[in-house]
Homo-oligomer: A and B are copies of this chain.
Amino acid sequence: MYLLRSPIVPMDIRDRERSAMEESVPAAGSRMREEIDEQPQVVAAIASELPRVEEAVDRAREAGARFVIYAARGTSDNAAVYGKYLANILAGVPAGLAAPSVTTLYGAEISFHNCLVFGVSQSGKTPDVTEYVGDARRRGAFTIAITNEEESPLAEAAEVVLPTRAGIEEAVPATKTYTSQLAVLALFWSIWSERPDAIETFSSELPAAMEAVLGGEDAVARLASRYRFVERLMVAARGFNYATALEAALKLKETCYLGVNAYSAADLLHGPIAAVEEDLPALAFAYPGPAYQPMLDLVRELRDRDVEVAVVGPGQALEVAGAGIEVPDVVPEVLSPLLTILPAQLLAYYLAREKGIDPDHPRGLSKVTLTR
């Protein structure tokens, strides 16, 4: 059966399956692969940061924070998108993403009174994010650094540091630092909005669910085989998992050199759906919650246009698409981006190997990008 554990498989999918490579690709001594596997432990450990995060929430509230801005680049910017939804939905706080160049290039004199500005960076060394956060602090913002490096320039620049404690990340494509950023953000906004249920899930079900998803890698290896000669791919999601679509697209671009466009399901219908065609496969993230039905509707619409869709989501969503990678519905939707990104990371890893690319060191990239 092609990529699907459920017994209901349309015949055309069975036919397709025969062309898929039967052998799964063996795991090798790749740091990216190892770092993917470390994520359940890394996320479980974040729960121990609870007191530090509580203090950060208290201080931000005391500082009168009523508007949130995230400054970040690359993978961290995708974590920031998740943070924007968290602030809006959990806490009712307006939030947006910074354009750091308004400060670093244009010298904008922004009035940051009542603003909470997060700088998010794995290395804490991205100069424009650091400069933006430092400038925001001088202009009245309460500033928090979310970084894997407690001694970094970004950590210095901000009033409070929330460390992601993911350990050293050696592979160039960020994996465990991404999920640890999500975890810190989820913890922060769960505490802000006084939702102990989410915090509880965090330390209990979430790491086990992550382990379970990582165990389902055979389906991922088969999808990587099927995508071996794909040049363009479309990725779609909505709601909390819009961040997942963005991060999945970035991983596949930087690790496998694919042409990938990520869309919110709503934006896709505003124009880009014209570019959809039979030979442009789609990867859709669907997880039970308010964004689920719109995503299932989109999957049906894409199938009606003869687009091959693979879904990352629970069995029911896989049945609608006819193919995909199962992610069981075991944590609240708000935490699902910590699960749904895992198959995408594995897909980037397996597809890189299929293409003969070293996933740890994609061409032309270094671990710290010094944009100003």
A contact set with B: CB distance below 8 Å: 66-67, 69, 73-75, 77, 84-85, 88-89, 92-97, 99-102, 105-115, 128, 173, 231-232, 238-239, 242, 250, 253-255, 257-261, 264, 266-267, 269-277, 280, 290-291, 294, 305, 362-365, 369, 371-372
From the candidates B101, B232, B267, B272, name the one contacting A232 in the complex (CB within 8 A): B232
CB distance from A305 to the nearest CB of B (A): 7
In contact, A108 and B92 (Cβ under 8 angstroms): yes
In contact, A363 and B274 (Cβ under 8 angstroms): yes
What B residues does A173 contact at CB under 8 A?
A: 271
A254 to B276, CA, bound (A): 9
What B residues does A85 contact at CB under 8 A?
A: 99, 102
CB distance from A142 to the nearest CB of B (A): 13
Query: How many copies of the chain does the oligomer comprise?
Result: 2
CB distance from A111 to the nearest CB of B (A): 5
Which of A67, A277, A364 has the most CB atoms of chain B within a 10 A radius of its CB? A67
CB distance from A51 to the nearest CB of B (A): 27
With known contacts A97-B97, A275-B253, A362-B274, A105–B259 Cβ distance under 8 A? no
With known contacts A271-B254, A291-B105, A99–B276 Cβ distance under 8 A? no
A-B contact pairs, 17 of them (CB 8 A): A67-B94, A85-B102, A88-B106, A88-B110, A89-B102, A89-B106, A94-B111, A95-B96, A99-B242, A99-B264, A107-B290, A231-B232, A232-B259, A254-B274, A261-B261, A270-B371, A274-B363
What B residues does A264 contact at CB under 8 A?
A: 99, 101
CB distance from A353 to the nearest CB of B (A): 16
CB distance from A67 to the nearest CB of B (A): 5
Ranked nearest first, the 6 interchain pairs of A and B with the lowest CB-CB distance are A96-B96, A74-B270, A254-B271, A105-B290, A266-B371, A88-B102
A250 to B268, CA, bound (A): 10
A369 to B264, CA, bound (A): 14
